[in-house]
């Protein structure tokens, strides 16, 4: 794996995404809580451009008729079939209280490094 220059630190603003090319792959880069995360722009379900989906909080329901929000801006929803992934880990997220079939699937993530105001993805 080698480092690929993808831009300057100032190019990546808090709570925003930027699509970049890394070694021929489309990758979405997100800055959350001051840290950078990189996710392959490809949904493992059916190949949708994942990083064009909505970024949203995790909606939880502690009891019937109640709901709340956690992890604002950390969940990426596929634009085709609404599968949801944790931007920080790449893991698919499903509410354990919902009775539905789940799949152990992740989206590929990449390490991001900042050095001297420059940003690199390891791929």
pLDDT digits (tens, 9 = 90+) for 60-70: 777 788 877 77
- Please count the structural domains in the chain: 1
Structure tokens at 25: 């792959």
Q: Could you give the dihedral angle defined by the CA atoms of residues 8, 14, 18 and 20, in that order, rounded to the nearest 10 degrees? A: 40
Q: What is the pLDDT of residues 74-122, one digit of tens each?
A: 999 999 999 999 999 999 987 666 666 666 789 999 999 999 999 999 9
Dmax of the chain from CA atoms? 50
Model pLDDT, residue 56 = 85
CATH number at residue 69: 2.102.10.10
pLDDT of residue 68: 78
Token digits of residue 113: 């490094």
Range of the domain at 100: 3-122
Say what the pLDDT of residue 100 is: 67
What's residue 52's pLDDT?
96
CA angle (39, 56, 62) in 5-degree steps: 120
Task: Work out the end-to-end distance of the chain between its first and last CA atoms, rounded to an integer number of angstroms.
Answer: 5
Give the model confidence (pLDDT) of 25-77 as tens digits. 999 999 999 999 999 999 999 999 999 999 987 777 777 888 777 777 899 99
Three-state DSSP state, 36: strand
φ, ψ of residue 50 in degrees (nearest 5): -50, -45
């Amino acid at each position: 794996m080698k480092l690929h220059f993808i831009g300057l630190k100032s190019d990546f603003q808090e709570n925003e995404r930027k699509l970049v090319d890394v070694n021929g792959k489309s990758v979405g880069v997100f800055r959350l809580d001051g840290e950078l995360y990189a996710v392959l722009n490809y949904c493992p379900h059916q190949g949708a451009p994942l990083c064009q989906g909505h970024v949203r909080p995790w909606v939880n329901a502690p009891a019937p008729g109640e709901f709340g929000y956690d992890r604002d801006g950390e969940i990426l929803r596929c634009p085709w079939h609404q599968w949801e992934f944790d931007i920080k880990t790449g893991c698919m997220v499903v509410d354990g209280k919902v009775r539905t079939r789940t799949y152990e699937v992740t989206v590929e993530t990449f390490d991001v490094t900042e050095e001297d105001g420059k940003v690199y993805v390891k791929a």
